[in-house]
Chains A and B, each alone.
Chain A
């Protein structure tokens, strides 16, 4: 470096160091609106998740409300119901238990004798005036059913029957039930134990899900200026995986598992280029062959292309590719790539869902509501060129986030094939809650609709 260089450098430095022109007013306006919109995504993501969760919960609660029999929602004992008393009992037996045999529960008239309880509701009963005149015939017939629903009475009796610790409290003497009542109570206990056992269970399922994948995308104007648009046709594919369910109650289940899923898009010749400033240079109007015309940047032999999902970095040049130099454009693009065929951008995901299921219809043919979120791990990011030479790997999409979050909703139809196996057909919609491309200029959210079909085994 000679003195001349030093002199010139110093002159530039000294003259420009303090140069501070006022930027145009719209710059601050743009910054303010961009700053606001950048603050929103986090909040919006939270709101979206909350809204999705609220919708699923409301749906489930609504379904539950509509499908639950009204009787189950009513208190069982709205008014004191008289306890069935065997006719053989004399009034003497209900006198205060001044002299009672040891370990022999007795009824005292002054205290509540039995409580009726159903569906978790408790209604203390006042002591019936059992010394009063005889119960009417109508009452008798109704009272005969009372022990079936009267869990307290049943449990007290059961304790006696199986030799558990006898209640020291006042109650109906066990010996006062008739043989028919005792049989009914025993049957009730057996049913209750069995149904409680059946309420929780583990299930394992295999699923295949043919479906369509698409996307929701938006781009900054600067990025979109040189972008090759993908076609809007949804892509077909098959997802597959293993589902594990835990049935927490009669109607609710939690589901997880591991699924493999694929999303993608194709970019071909786009008529939009006919109206683009590059059309004259990139689109071969005279050619009988359809050429993919793509504005690309070339540097050190590397090719980069703006696509809908992000910047494609080519690791190799597609076969039979020609490059055409573009004139100096304000867009900054320098070349157009002419290639026959289509680009296929494919993203492979391993998804780990956390889903809630609610059984709307609980019978041999059941209907489930499903909703939840999935962690989507990107395990494949490939770009292929599909043309007359078949499909050939050409590169990958840049700035793809390895871990993403998606929301899932669906309706499942389940047909029980037997005691353990069931067949399910479940249309589901899966939408990524975040952009899988981390570039600030690109928002790209895959969207998939599939019919999850498979067999489930209940342990």
Chain B
């Protein structure tokens, strides 16, 4: 990782080639992160762009203690949350009972590609999408999620539960060969 350190230091000194090198190295994984938090690819690209600009701006503060990838990833997640909070999306009132199911996740999940799974996550209502990502992918607890999203701990818990239910339902639909109904929550 010595070369990564050199790239970072070159970026700090304003070397645009080093910035591109850093981008090429980190962008695919970070794009995957942004895609999970966004409603679609366009929003993910915006967040990726904003996130990298913040990375470049804050590189002088990085002390090379701990994982650089983790640090960049944290910035991407923060940008996504910030975007979500700025827009303050109103959660659509939806009859959630249609997602109520006791069905267990099945083999469909195993067979789905990462791209398809990402798309399913994107179809979650924004708040549930945030909660699911933060809890499952980032390993945050409900207290942390409630502070990040400015919601109660109870809302975080119920949101996670709802997110899982919706995902489970969608996976079952896929397993049963039904066309997945795309429900967009802007």
CB pair B168–A13 under 8 Å, yes or no, is no
- Interface: B74 (CB within 8 A): no
Residues of chain A at interface, number, CB under 8 A = 42
Knowing A13-B136, A15-B117, the reply to whether A304 touches B45 (Cβ < 8 A) is no
Closest to A304 in B: B88
- Interface: A459 (CB within 8 A): no
Knowing A11-B109, A12-B136, A27-B48, the reply to whether A35 touches B53 (Cβ < 8 A) is yes
Instruction: Give the interface centre of B53, B114, B115 by most chain A CB atoms within 10 Å.
Output: B114
Q: Which one, A15, A32, A335, contacts B16 given CB within 8 A?
A: A32
Q: Is the interface of B mostly helix, strand, loop or mixed?
A: helix
CB pair A328–B109 under 8 Å, yes or no, is no
- Interface: B140 (CB within 8 A): no
Q: Which residues of the other chain, B, contact A335 by a CB distance below 8 angstroms? A: 90
CB pair B46–A222 under 8 Å, yes or no, is yes
What mask results when residues 108 to 125 of chain B are scored 1 for a CB within 8 Å of chain A, else 0? 011010110110010000
CB pair A297–B89 under 8 Å, yes or no, is yes
- Interface: B29 (CB within 8 A): yes
Knowing A11-B105, A16-B137, A21-B28, the reply to whether A27 touches B45 (Cβ < 8 A) is yes
Of residues 1 to 40 in A, which have CB atoms within 8 Å of B's CB atoms? 4-5, 7-9, 11-13, 15-24, 26-28, 30-32, 34-35, 38-39
- Interface: B167 (CB within 8 A): yes
- Interface: A189 (CB within 8 A): no
- Interface: A330 (CB within 8 A): yes
Stretch at the interface among B31-39, B60-68, B173-181: B31-39
- Interface: A165 (CB within 8 A): no
- Interface: A206 (CB within 8 A): no
Q: Which one, A17, A21, A39, contacts B31 given CB within 8 A?
A: A21
CB pair B27–A38 under 8 Å, yes or no, is no
A16 vs B129: C-alpha distance when bound (angstroms): 14
Knowing A16-B137, A35-B19, A334-B89, the reply to whether A23 touches B45 (Cβ < 8 A) is yes
A9 vs B56: C-alpha distance when bound (angstroms): 33
Knowing A35-B19, A298-B88, the reply to whether A20 touches B117 (Cβ < 8 A) is no
CB pair B186–A9 under 8 Å, yes or no, is no
CB pair B137–A12 under 8 Å, yes or no, is yes
- Interface: B23 (CB within 8 A): yes
- Interface: A180 (CB within 8 A): no
CB pair B29–A28 under 8 Å, yes or no, is no
Instruction: Give the interface centre of B28, B87, B135 by most chain A CB atoms within 10 Å.
Output: B87
CB pair B105–A16 under 8 Å, yes or no, is no
CB pair A21–B45 under 8 Å, yes or no, is no
CB pair B31–A20 under 8 Å, yes or no, is yes
CB pair B45–A19 under 8 Å, yes or no, is no
What mask results when residues 43 to 64 of chain B are scored 1 for a CB within 8 Å of chain A, else 0? 0011011001100110000000
Residues of chain B at interface, number, CB under 8 A = 47
- Interface: A332 (CB within 8 A): yes
Instruction: Give the interface centre of B27, B36, B86, B112 by most chain A CB atoms within 10 Å.
Output: B86
CB pair A329–B186 under 8 Å, yes or no, is yes
Q: Which residues of the other chain, A, contact B88 by a CB distance below 8 angstroms? A: 297-299, 302, 304
Closest to A306 in B: B86
Q: Which residues of the other chain, B, contact A34 by a CB distance below 8 angstroms? A: 49, 53
Knowing A11-B110, A12-B136, A34-B49, the reply to whether A19 touches B105 (Cβ < 8 A) is no
Closest to A12 in B: B136
B143 CB to nearest A CB, Å: 16
CB pair A297–B164 under 8 Å, yes or no, is no
What mask results when residues 91 to 107 of chain A are scored 1 for a CB within 8 Å of chain B, else 0? 00000000000000000
CB pair B186–A20 under 8 Å, yes or no, is no
A241 vs B108: C-alpha distance when bound (angstroms): 74
A interface residue numbers (CB < 8 A to B): 4-5, 7-9, 11-13, 15-24, 26-28, 30-32, 34-35, 38-39, 222, 297-300, 302, 304, 311, 328-330, 332, 334-335
Question: What 17 new A-B contacts, CB under 8 Å, besides A12-B117, A20-B32?
Answer: A8-B167, A12-B137, A13-B136, A13-B137, A15-B112, A16-B32, A18-B114, A19-B115, A21-B31, A21-B115, A22-B28, A32-B20, A35-B53, A38-B57, A297-B87, A297-B90, A302-B88
| Pairs A–B under 8 Å by Cβ, sample size 15 | A8-B105, A8-B171, A12-B117, A15-B109, A16-B36, A21-B32, A21-B115, A22-B28, A22-B31, A27-B27, A222-B46, A297-B89, A298-B88, A328-B185, A332-B87
